[in-house]
Amino acid sequence: MIQLVDTRGVAISLFSGAGGLDLGAERAGYEVRAAVELDRDAVATMEKNFHRVSVIPGDILKVSTEEILAAARLGSAERPDLLIGGPPCTPFSKSGFWLEWKRDGLDPTASLLQEYTRVLREARPRRFVLENVYALTYNNRASRPAFDRLMREIDEAGYHCVWKVLVAADYGVAQARPRLFVLGVPKSEPLPAHPAPTHGGLWEGSRTGHASQPHVTAGQALDGLVTESEAGEVVAGKYGHLLPDIPPGDNYLFYTENRGHSNPQFRWRSKYWSFLLKLSPDKPAPTIQAQPGPYIGPFHWENRRLRVAELRRLFTFPDEFEFVGSRNSVQAQVGNSVPPLLAEKVIRALHGEQVES
């Protein structure tokens, strides 16, 4: 059961998933009372770990704001203190741009951003946090119109906001995971600021974060963790036998002529960057995806798939946090979640707080 550290008020959560944002909000002092989530396993995960939250299991397109406020035990004249949520990011994800119909903005799930702004407009929270993939800010046919519309609807709802792409590793998470965070308050209040980074290092070849503390590495995050073997963790099939020779931190490019391999297996840049990608214990993990293919990493440096306990650590979920569902379902729940440590720091920043570690 999640323990409140103080009392900042009532939060409501949309597109809650496994509750990464919710856990961060609870740690920052809010009481999350109501959540809306479509996925059955994620609903069960929320109910398993958040005993005070009333989870509405269903499609937000069919859930009214009145239902959400009633589940949060708020009267018709009461406002929630915080609205949080991360609408599904498939239409704007970087990997999604491999598909022409997504580049053209034709994915129907793009409209879920408007469900967030609908609840924002109708519930009138005192603060809000919206999380999404950083590709939503790209200047292309899919992202730019959607992002401009989002900013316009936030303004029309009576709020002003700041947005920024944050790299999770800069905030003590052992994962170099970039995500967009939009923070907003009513126009009558001063604009909030994003949290200052507490850690620093390299991300995509550039220096990022703050140099006071180095990024937490995957090796540090997993240090001392004892795990049992899991079914399906062996990487087999057509390419599985290639994984052991790839050095930690490297990917399929190890097997290319450009890298001087004596028996090249792939053409240069012929696969997605995470194909046969292996963790390095000396660096943060790269982004861990929700629905990886059979050869999409990161894989453990011991040449296997990551185990659930390891995924928890790399996302900063507590070791006792329980996920419900199949292994594939858990992967999706974790991969779609916001690291709770990052969520806590973002939400505390709404109040001008900076968490040092």
CA distances to 14, 54, 210 from 116, in Å: 7, 18, 32
Amino acid at 341: L
Report the amino acid identity of residue 243.
L
Where does the chain have alpha helices with state H?
20-27, 40-49, 65-71, 100-103, 112-123, 143-156, 218-222, 237-240, 308-315, 327-335, 340-349
Q: Is the peptide bond before 284 cis (omega within 30 degrees of 0)?
A: no
User: Which are the contacts of 302, defined by CB distance < 8 A and separation ≥ 6?
Assistant: none
Cα–Cα distance list, 115 to 26, 109, 253, 314, 333 (Å): 23, 10, 41, 30, 21
Q: From the candidates 89, 154, 166, 169, which is the catalytic residue?
A: 89
Q: Which two tokens stand for residue 106?
A: 């034709």
CA 280 to chain centre: 21
d(CA 182, CA 141): 21
Is 161 one of the catalytic residues? no
Q: How far apart are CA 14 and CA 330, in angstroms?
A: 19
Question: Could you give the residue numbers annotated as active site?
Answer: 89
